[in-house]
Amino acid sequence: MNFELTEEHKAIQQATRDFARTTLLPGIIERDNAQKFDPSLVRQMGEMGLMGMMVEEQYGGGGLDTLSYVLAMEEICKIDASAGVIMSVNNSLVCWGIQQYGSEEQKQKYLPDLASAQKIGAFCLSEPEAGSDATSQHTTAVDQGDYYILNGTKNWITNGNLSEICLVMAQTHPEKRHKGINVFLVEKGIAGFTVGRKEDKMGIRASDTHSLMFADVMVPKGNRIGPDGFGFKFAMDTLNGGRIGIAAQALGIAAGAYELSLAYAKQRRTFGKPISEHQAIQFKLAEMATRIEAARLLVYKAAYTKDVGKDYIGEAAMAKLYASDVAMWVTTEAVQIHGGYGYVKEYHVERHMRDAKITQIYEGTSEIQKLVIAREILK
């Protein structure tokens, strides 16, 4: 086993680290307070190649492997998890889903704009009554021959207002349950498609989360991805890869909080010496570093397994389950190490703590990950 990154991987890691620290860090507290992400930052991420890293070069992407994407996600999320989730959805869910299962016409039409961040994508699966139980889709798509009529509501949609291209799951054949679901490419601006209220979230507040409503939206049949009834399999396959991205996000949040804590512990003095010389703090830092490294190995293994073409469902679920728990634990300890300063926005760790929680919930809750892992080991 080779634990060394290639020179290309190191270059991607360093370039993304520099971008995050010089471009994303300034203004991050203001963006969090305002619950608004600067579109110019998304464009700069696109110019850096961060929004379509795994998209093949012929469609305008970077043609990079999953490990490259994970390395970049980790560095972005050390600084700004809101930027990370925008990047994750566009890469893991939207671009990957279209590249893997879209027609050649769909790839040529949508991927270049998505990979360059000229347009942003959204993945629309969750509904008011369909979260973990994704089979209970109430959004309907009625076949009218050359087109479908789409009706329903999607919620918790990352990039909901920012996006211009949406992947929408809807039920066409209710009697077939999950085998009757389809997935459609729906563009903003089409009649009957409206953006609902913005969610007031605890964490990742600078990311764009909205409800989306569809009222008699006419979707051309050519905008359906895959054969009739393919939508649920599309969603599950796409989420399997997306979990690697969220695991990398959780890893980045944890690593960012740890790095801040390490630096703070070296300069903060109590009882005449830096708090890093107190054993109580040393033990916290030691366990933080150990858990983060364990999470990192799980995340890297999941990326590697995907890159070599092996079944990575179990690896992705394990990585997300563990990394999200590590993120929650490490950020809590980071606030504790900072003491009263950890409870104010200026020192950043309180934001990391708020951002960490969602990684245990979206793209499959921790409970769902345990079900997935159990299913894989009991095969």
Distance, in Å, from the CA atom of 16 to the CA atom of 18, rounded to the nearest integer, reads: 5
Alpha carbon of residue 242 to chain centroid: 6
Beta strand 181-187 pairing with 165-171: antiparallel
- Contacts with 374 (C-beta within 8 Å, 6 or more apart), sequence order: none
Question: Quick count: other Cβ atoms within 10 Å of Cβ 228?
Answer: 15
Quote the crossing angle between the two packed helices 231-267 and 279-307, to the nearest 10°.
150
What is the C-alpha to C-alpha distance for residues 352 and 348, in angstroms, rounded to an integer?
A: 7
Which of 347, 326, 328, 351 has its CA nearest to residue 338? Answer: 347
| C-alpha angle 300-41-321 in degrees, rounded to nearest 5 | 30
Q: How far is Cα 346 from Cα 344, in angstroms, rounded to an integer?
A: 6
Q: Which among 175, 350, 363, 367 is annotated as catalytic? A: 363
Residue 363 appears among annotated catalytic residues: yes
Three-class DSSP category at 76: helix
Q: Which helix (H) or strand (E) holds 148?
A: strand 147-158
Catalytic residues: 363
